[in-house]
Amino acid sequence: MIQNHEIDFRIFGEEMQYVEVELDPNETAIAEPGAFMMMDDGIQMETMFGDGSTQQSGLLGKLFTAGKRVLAGENLFMTAFTNISHGKRCVSFASPYPGKIVPLDLSRLGYKVICQKDAFLCAAKGVSVGIEFQRKLGTGLFGGEGFIMEKLEGDGKAFLHASGFVQQKELRAGETLKIDTGCIAGFTASVNYDIQFVGGIKNTIFGGEGLFFATLTGPGIVWIQSLPISRLASRILSYGIGRRREEGSVLGGLGNLLDGDGW
């Protein structure tokens, strides 16, 4: 069984959170490049190829693991933060967009959690960060954001960042949850993931929610995010490049002109 470094942590903030990880001497935390926020004196920072887990063997194994991480939308390299002092030291990592940081104790979650691409923030050294392909043809053709996902394996602590509000839901055996693929932050490996056709001609043409949604069937735990970052980005983009939609505005386009936005 994998033995990961034991780390303690505290999460600060509400909408823009960061996690403070406490390291004992010689303990190491790993993080995505760009996640670093601050650290105490006595912590050594080192960029490494891959995630530094014991599952990598030799250069070929590291290249294979790194290649899978690229497919999952992550960086080829990770940063390791090691406490080289004689006392406890802290290092902090920040979420890249508004939302919540989700702490995971993999030893209590079946040693494996599957999550959205780009969801990984940081973890104890020894946690393996890889790629999880959805094997069914339907999920491959129509799964969208949910087809290629990340997997976190090990027996230590890991941290995800999710967009918007995060709800943890435990599914009983045989219980099914229908959900937008982008709203899945993560789920335990015991949960079955599939894609289902929405159905109905009006739903298909006028529904505005896509032709397919994901089905998650228990037993297991699911983490749900209320505002997928892709949805937020597309909405911001539509406001930036198009004409502003006048919802309930009496002035309409005249209001834009008065605001200096033009027609």
What residues contact 30, with CB distance under 8 A and at least 6 apart?
48, 51, 52, 78, 79, 80, 81, 122, 123, 124, 125, 127
User: pLDDT band for position 117 (50/70/90)?
Assistant: confident
Token pair of 60, please? 């070929």
Q: Residue for token digits 């502003």?
A: 244
Q: Does the pLDDT at position 16 exceed 90? A: no
Q: Where does residue 52 fall: left (phi above 0), alpha (psi -120 to 50 degrees), or beta otherwise?
A: left
Structure confidence at residue 143 (pLDDT): 46
**What is the rounded average pLDDT of the residues 21-47?**
94
Q: What does the DSSP assignment read for 143-210? A: -GGGSEEEEEESSSEEEEEEES-EEEEEEPTT-EEEE-GGGEEEEETTSEEEEEE---HHHHHH--S-
Sequence spans of domains, the chain? 8-238
Structure confidence at residue 140 (pLDDT): 47
Structure confidence at residue 10 (pLDDT): 95
Structure confidence at residue 103 (pLDDT): 96
**What is the rounded average pLDDT of the residues 72-92?**
86
Share of the chain above pLDDT 90, in %: 44
Contact 67, 99 (CB under 8 A): no
Structure confidence at residue 72 (pLDDT): 53
Contact 119, 158 (CB under 8 A): no
Interval 58-71: pLDDT, tens: 555 555 555 555 55
- Please indicate whether residue 263 or residue 91 has the higher confidence score (pLDDT): 91
Say which CATH superfamily domain 8-238 falls into: Mitochondrial biogenesis AIM24 (3.60.160.10)
Interval 203-260: pLDDT, tens: 444 444 556 788 999 999 999 999 877 776 666 777 766 555 544 444 455 445 444 4
Measured CA to CA, the distance from residue 79 to residue 263 in angstroms comes to: 48
Token pair of 50, please? 């891959």
Q: What is the pTM of this model?
A: 0.77
Among 80, 95, 110, smallest CA distance to 7 is for 80
The β-bridge partners of 201 are none
Interval 119-160: pLDDT, tens: 899 999 989 888 886 655 454 444 445 567 889 999 999 999
Cα angle, residue 62 at apex, residues 33 and 157 outer, rounded to 5°: 55
Mean predicted lDDT score pLDDT of the chain = 79
Q: Does the pLDDT at position 32 exceed 80? A: yes
Among 248, 72, 245, smallest CA distance to 256 is for 245
Token pair of 73, please? 């939308």
